Amino acid sequence: MGAEHAWLLAAIPAGAFVVLALFGRYLARGGDWLGIAAIATSFALFFPVLADFLSEGDGLGPFTAAVEWTRIGDFSFPMGIFVDPITIVMLAVITTVAFMVNIFSVGYMKGEPRYWWFFAVLQLFAASMILLVLADNLLLLYIAWELVGLCSFLLIGFYWEKRSAVEAAKKAFVTTRIGDVGLLIGIILLWREAGTFNIQEILRLAEEGHFGHTYLLVAMLFIFIGAMGKSAQVPFHVWLPDAMEGPTPVSALIHAATMVVAGVYLVNRMLPAFEVVDETLLVITVVGLVTAILTGFMAFAQTDIKKVLAYSTVGQLGFMFVAAGAGAPEASMFHLMTHAFFKALLFLAAGSVIIGTHHHQDMNELGGLWKRMPITGTTFLIGSLALAGVPPLAGFWSKDEILVVLDKQWGPWAVSLLGFAAILTAFYTTRLFIRTFLGQPRDPHIAEHTTETPPVMTGPLLFLALLSVVSGLVVFHEVGTALGFPGGFGEFVFLPSHGPHGYEFDAAFAGASVVLALLGIFTSGWLYWGGRLDRSTRLAEWQPRLYDMLVNKFYFDELYQAAIDYGILGFSYVVSWFDRYVVNDTGVDGSAQVTGYAGFILKHLQSGRLPHYAMSLALGVVVLAVAGLVMRG
Amino acid sequence: MRDYSLFVPEYIAAGAAIAIVAIELIWPRLRKDVLAYLMAAVSLGWLAASLAYLGRDPKEFMGVLVVDDFTTYFRALAAGIVFVTCLLSAQYLRRRTREASEYYGLLLTAGAGMSLMAAARELLTAYLALELLSFSLYILVGFFRRDLKSNEASLKYVLLGGFASAMLLYGISLLYGLTGNTTYDAVAEALANRSGDTDVAAIAAFVLIIAGLGFKVSAVPFHTWAPDAYTGAPVPITAFLSTASKAAGFALILRLFTNAFHTDPEEWRWLVAVVAALTIVFGNLVAIQQTNFRRLIAYSSIGQVGYMLVPVAALGYGDGEIAHAATAALLLHLTGYIISTLAAFSAFQAAYDRTGDDTIPGLRGLAETQPFLAMVITISLFSFAGLPVFAGFATKLFMFQASALPELMWLVGIAVAASFVSLYYYLMVMRQMYLFDPPEGASRFRVTPALWAAAAALMLGTIFVGAYPQPLFDAADGAASALFQEGAAPHQVRER
């Protein structure tokens, strides 16, 4: 199968979604087998696509194929796919993780209500996400972008009965929609000057200087706002931790490995245009750095396993933006890939803990689980070490790449800030592992009933653990060549303007990177060893206000609530009050019922309300006419 | 030339309107839902008769009416809306009244008024057609004589409607004074050649005419009647008001502005743009505060009208080609909006038949008691909010794309931002349906087959238009072409 048929990867889960949505509830086992079969087919089909892609020419030429969606006058809206190395990496990540998550869900969601619906939406998500990375134009990308948002909304709110879940779904939807409006405005701006939605055309025009500098700058900043919203960068980060209300496999797939990296993908995809207006690169880097550091701190005081992982995800997305901001899509995409594997692993392992302990996910109740859940514990440890950046696990290589490119682009100040974020990462990861798996159980009752989860859940864990160990090695030229690639990661994914480059092992950076990781690990280990909390409690008591600030996540939520209450809602209240009492009324809401039929005409004629209505019409005419005469007369 | 064969669809509508009154007189015990289904069948005949004119050469009737593809488009829309409204009314009316024939008769005359508004090429004919629609609606809104809300709504509507008609007529007479004629062609010719010292009169005429038509489509600040009329009217009439009445208004506006006013755009285009901006901002902001579903839809539809006024403004700013594209896009969006609105109302009607509650909290727990209806309402609201895959996204996209002239970018920006705000109040409805438990004692219920089929078909229509808009766009483009054919818009634009 050729790469031009890559759309099948999306079409197959989409078909499965239709079948499951319509008939899922009548199928045996809620049709989970159909979902798994569909995503397994996509996963399997990825390899012929990859092989075909690599066998053509130098193996790097993009593939395109397009059909016309709608023609409007002279303006046509073609919808097509575009396959290049960035797409290939995304496809690999999406199909692999989606496949594993589907299998895992069979165990995790067992016995849940609306089991069939869960698998149906999961297929819709996979299809939309694959469509998003295949889209060759911004319009199709935007459609897919909204679709994955919709799936995320549906899945976060999967437990309708839980009020917090629905609130979280709404929050996620609304917050990301703010970013989406930015994205849409950016797309419209680009389209207006370029006359096309095609991404490659737009990039070409941008590089040729077709856009004015300020114009392009504004447009790209709007695009970046869209990316920030989707990838939960500060100040849009508030929705992602709440999104953990969804079922854990959803957190692994959507809120760690795939959907939230759509923003990173978009920035990397449009990077040539960002480079034309290179002020934006600094913005991207700073946003990434701020996010990485702030969320690193926020993860400190969380006790819910999934929330720690959520803040960690936001932070790692910050790392990816930092790499993109350094003009290095190879480093950014590399970290995206390794992170997808080890973070999906961590989330699934957390899900395994939740099932094994019968729905407990607060560290304050857990501890000492390694003995009870050896596979989950071991795989969680592998994921943690990869996240902390310990060699030779995946996270080490990709983080090291980012530090190297960051040094080249921005110099020591950026490197030291990101290095600090790396220490924080290692710190909270260690804390998470120690408090969950080591020491004595804090609640012996829970520990007593804890058992290892069935193979349908541990299987995906083991597979992802394997990937978390080895996936970092593709950075090496020899590994890439052995796999049939044109070389290492940097020789596969690169900007045309930069050209491919091989991985250079820099002992100083690698050493520093290891030291940073160990620093975080040992500090955390010293504080929490054996699951003891007295040292950390003393620390919290030493600076209570700082601790409060961390527990309350720097008060972002409170700030936004106030802004909405006093801002939009206040404004709309004023306008609505004006409409009611000055030009309109609420007569139908009550007064009519209490007056007699005969009296009401008189009553209402005298109440002065109808004249108010008429007045508004007349005033409207007069004001408009006067305005017209002043303007044009 | 008097070619009476041009108006077969209107004969069907008017004839059936008379016949149904006679039928009820002769067989007073006939079940009222039978009358509804009878009229639904008639409107299908009406639709077929309308489509028979498709693709024929445009023919004029004494210079005041024209039957071309544009007329056919709106005839078909009118027949379709009446058809759905009859289905919505069947059980609702049967439970509430013993004399239903006038109701269905007036629906048909209202529909005929709408077709004639699309066909009119002369100011007074257009005015008469508009009044035919309005008078039918005044009675329909107050159809339940014993219902105070319905009465009050009707009374307000009549009084304000009279006021608006007066303004429209005054505008027409000013225009007549300026141009010495009332046919669109002659008005266009005269406007192109008028001298500079008539600016004041021209502006006054345009303001008054836009106010009169703005009232019909409920554009701010001429919208005040809409929320009350929407809440007080019988529920199916609310659906009719928010679709047919607006469609008819835009039919008249499009032909008037592209055939009569296009030669003098400088005096009115800014006005339409300002009204559009006001309508968008106002409708969407006030909608947030609503607690009644019908009032919410009223304000949301005011916002939608604001979006639809954007391409009307573009008619004045762009050249003929842009005007053509804007017209086609507006027709497409209007149709998508009508399909989504009717879908929402079919589902709402079914729920309302059960609960008798038209507040938003009245829908609570609908996802549990009737998940199908909850899904239809959700999809319609998503379509209003412009989410992809549903009609509202594609149609709004094309509409804004066609209107994105440099002079109107600010307006398009406002419209895009407002679409975002609108999601907030649509989510309020979904929250009630999905988040809350049904009221005590509510159980799962069945929907009558007619309503179920209408809701399902309209929901699929909403998705189809969103996923594959080409066929509908081609139809809209064909209708728009009729307005821009050789000879239809021949004049030079006035130079200042």
Is the backbone peptide bond immediately before A454 cis, with ω within 30 degrees of 0?
Answer: no
- With a CB cutoff of 8 Å and minimum separation 6, the contacts of B380 are B340, B341, B343, B344, B347, B459, B462
Whole-angstrom CA distances from B473 to B148, B208, B326 are 43, 32, 12
Distance CA A584, CA A587 (A): 9
Find, in chain B, the residue whose alpha carbon is nearest to that of A149.
Answer: B387
A11 touches chain B (CB under 8 A): no
The mean per-residue pLDDT over the stretch A588-611 comes to: 43
pLDDT the model gives residue A60: 52
What's the pLDDT tens digit per position in A259-310?
A: 999 999 999 999 999 999 989 999 999 999 999 999 998 888 888 999 999 9
Nearest Cβ partner of B413 from A185, A601, A632?
A: A185
What is the identity of the amino acid at A374?
P
Do A477 and A487 form a contact (C-beta atoms < 8 A)?
Answer: yes
Distance CA A370, CA B196 (A): 90
Distance CA B23, CA B27 (A): 6
Q: Which position has the token pair 């050469």?
A: B57
Q: With an 8 Å Cβ cutoff, are B282 and A579 in contact?
A: yes
Percent of the residues in chain A that have a pLDDT greater than 90, as a whole number: 39
Element of type H or E holding A76: strand A75-83
Six-digit token string for B249: 């208004």
A625 contact residues in B (CB cutoff 8 A): 203-204, 207
Find, in chain B, the residue whose alpha carbon is nearest to that of A598.
Answer: B148
Task: Kindly indicate the confidence band of residue A67, based on its pLDDT and cuts at 50, 70 and 90.
Answer: confident
pTM across the whole model: 0.83
A602 touches chain B (CB under 8 A): no
Nearest Cβ partner of B389 from A143, A173, A614?
A: A143
B310 touches chain A (CB under 8 A): no
Find, in chain A, the residue whose alpha carbon is nearest to that of B428.
Answer: A170
Residues 150-209 of B with CB under 8 A from A: 151-153, 155-156, 159-160, 163-164, 167, 199-200, 203-204, 206-208
Q: What is the ipTM of this complex?
A: 0.78
- Please report the DSSP string for A129-187 in residue order: HHHHHHBSBHHHHHHHHHHHHHHHHHHHTTSTT-HHHHHHHHHHHHHHHHHHHHHHHHH
Highest mean pLDDT of the ranges A14-18, A620-624, B491-495 = A14-18
A181 contact residues in B (CB cutoff 8 A): 416-417, 419-420
Q: With an 8 Å Cβ cutoff, are A620 and B222 in contact?
A: yes
Phi then psi for residue A118, to 5 deg, are -60, -50
A628 touches chain B (CB under 8 A): yes
Do A366 and A441 form a contact (C-beta atoms < 8 A)?
Answer: yes
Neighbouring-strand partners of residue B22: none
Phi then psi for residue B256, to 5 deg, are -65, -50
Residues 190-219 of A with CB under 8 A from B: 191-192
Q: What is the DSSP letter of A30?
A: G
- Please report the DSSP string for A360-397 in residue order: --BGGG----TTT-HHHHHHHHHHHHHHHT-TTSHHHH
| B472 conformational bin, left if phi > 0, alpha if psi -120 to 50, beta if neither | alpha
Domain residue ranges of chain B, discontinuous segments joined by +: 4-483
At residue A504, the 3 state secondary structure works out as: coil
Nearest Cβ partner of A624 from B151, B207, B404?
A: B207
B320 touches chain A (CB under 8 A): no
Distance CA B8, CA B28 (A): 29
A633 touches chain B (CB under 8 A): yes
- When computed from its CA atoms, the radius of gyration of chain B, rounded to whole angstroms, is 22
A41 touches chain B (CB under 8 A): no
Q: How many CB atoms lie within 10 A of CB B470?
A: 16
The widest CA-to-CA distance across chain A, in whole angstroms, is: 94
Query: Is 60 exceeded by the pLDDT of residue A564?
Result: yes
Find, in chain A, the residue whose alpha carbon is nearest to that of B329.
Answer: A72
Q: How many CB atoms lie within 10 A of CB A443?
A: 14
Q: Which carries the bigger pLDDT value, residue B52 or residue A540?
A: B52
Do B263 and B492 form a contact (C-beta atoms < 8 A)?
Answer: yes
Whole-angstrom CA distances from B410 to A224, B268, B274 are 21, 18, 11
B357 touches chain A (CB under 8 A): no
Distance CA A68, CA B468 (A): 11
| Residue positions counted in chain A | 633
Six-digit token string for A496: 């045309």
pLDDT the model gives residue B486: 59
Distance CA B452, CA A629 (A): 53
pLDDT the model gives residue A587: 37
Phi then psi for residue A420, to 5 deg, are -60, -45
The mean per-residue pLDDT over the stretch A41-62 comes to: 79
Q: Which of A173, A175, A178, A179 is nearest to A157 (CA)?
A: A173
- With a CB cutoff of 8 Å and minimum separation 6, the contacts of B165 are B127, B130, B131, B134, B212
Positions of chain B with pLDDT under 70: 1, 486-492, 495-496
Task: Kindly indicate the confidence band of residue A631, based on its pLDDT and cuts at 50, 70 and 90.
Answer: confident
- With a CB cutoff of 8 Å and minimum separation 6, the contacts of A278 are none
Interface test with B, best of A613, A616, A631 (most B CBs within 10 A): A613
- Please report the DSSP string for A251-273 in residue order: HHIIIIISGGGHHHHHHHHTHHH
Do B369 and B438 form a contact (C-beta atoms < 8 A)?
Answer: yes
What's the pLDDT tens digit per position in A245-256?
A: 889 999 999 988
Distance CA A245, CA A165 (A): 5
Query: Is 50 exceeded by the pLDDT of residue A600?
Result: no
pLDDT the model gives residue B206: 93
Distance CA B287, CA B264 (A): 35
Q: With an 8 Å Cβ cutoff, are B152 and A588 in contact?
A: yes
Interface test with B, best of A137, A586, A588 (most B CBs within 10 A): A588
Task: Kindly indicate the confidence band of residue A369, based on its pLDDT and cuts at 50, 70 and 90.
Answer: confident
pLDDT the model gives residue A596: 39
A600 contact residues in B (CB cutoff 8 A): 148, 151-152
Q: Which of A256, A470, A426 is nearest to A347 (CA)?
A: A256
Q: With an 8 Å Cβ cutoff, are B402 and A192 in contact?
A: no
B389 contact residues in A (CB cutoff 8 A): 143, 147
Do B117 and B137 form a contact (C-beta atoms < 8 A)?
Answer: no
pLDDT the model gives residue B2: 80
Interface test with A, best of B224, B430, B477 (most A CBs within 10 A): B224
Q: With an 8 Å Cβ cutoff, are B423 and A631 in contact?
A: no
Nearest Cβ partner of B232 from A588, A614, A619?
A: A588
How buried is residue B25: exposed, middle or buried, by Cβ count under 10 Å (0-12/13-18/19+)? exposed
Query: Is 90 exceeded by the pLDDT of residue A633?
Result: no
Q: How many contacts (CB atoms, under 8 Å) link A and B?
A: 176
Whole-angstrom CA distances from A33 to A30, A36, A42 are 8, 5, 14
A614 contact residues in B (CB cutoff 8 A): 159-160, 163
Six-digit token string for B363: 């829908």
How buried is residue A223: exposed, middle or buried, by Cβ count under 10 Å (0-12/13-18/19+)? buried
pLDDT the model gives residue A57: 53
Q: How many CB atoms lie within 10 A of CB A362?
A: 16
At residue A82, the 3 state secondary structure works out as: strand
The overall average pLDDT reported for chain A is 84
Distance CA B218, CA B242 (A): 9
Number of continuous H segments (helices) and E segments (strands) in chain A: 30, 2
Nearest Cβ partner of B224 from A174, A595, A616?
A: A616
pLDDT the model gives residue B1: 63
Q: What is the DSSP letter of B256?
A: I
Q: With an 8 Å Cβ cutoff, are B152 and A604 in contact?
A: yes
Distance CA A458, CA A378 (A): 11
Q: Give the dihedral sign, CA B161/B163/B167/B169.
A: positive
Interface test with A, best of B222, B268, B397 (most A CBs within 10 A): B397
Q: With an 8 Å Cβ cutoff, are B470 and A71 in contact?
A: yes
Is the backbone peptide bond immediately before A48 cis, with ω within 30 degrees of 0?
Answer: no
pLDDT the model gives residue B96: 86
pLDDT the model gives residue A426: 93
B329 touches chain A (CB under 8 A): yes
pLDDT the model gives residue A346: 95
Task: Kindly indicate the confidence band of residue A117, based on its pLDDT and cuts at 50, 70 and 90.
Answer: confident
pLDDT the model gives residue A605: 39
Distance CA B406, CA B389 (A): 28
Distance CA B167, CA B210 (A): 9
B144 touches chain A (CB under 8 A): no
A72 touches chain B (CB under 8 A): yes
| Residue positions counted in chain B | 496
B230 touches chain A (CB under 8 A): no
Nearest Cβ partner of A160 from B155, B401, B434?
A: B434
Q: With an 8 Å Cβ cutoff, are A584 and B227 in contact?
A: yes
Is the backbone peptide bond immediately before B361 cis, with ω within 30 degrees of 0?
Answer: no
Q: Which position has the token pair 């727990």?
A: B365
Q: With an 8 Å Cβ cutoff, are A69 and B409 in contact?
A: no
Q: With an 8 Å Cβ cutoff, are B469 and A70 in contact?
A: yes
Q: Which position has the token pair 């048929």?
A: A5
Distance CA A326, CA A403 (A): 10
Query: Is 90 exceeded by the pLDDT of residue A608?
Result: no
Q: Which of A240, A274, A282 is nearest to A156 (CA)?
A: A240
**Burial readout A26-35 (b: 16 or more C-beta within 10 A, e: otherwise):** eeeebbbebb
What's the pLDDT tens digit per position in A408-449?
A: 888 899 999 999 999 999 999 999 999 888 888 888 888 888
pLDDT the model gives residue A590: 36
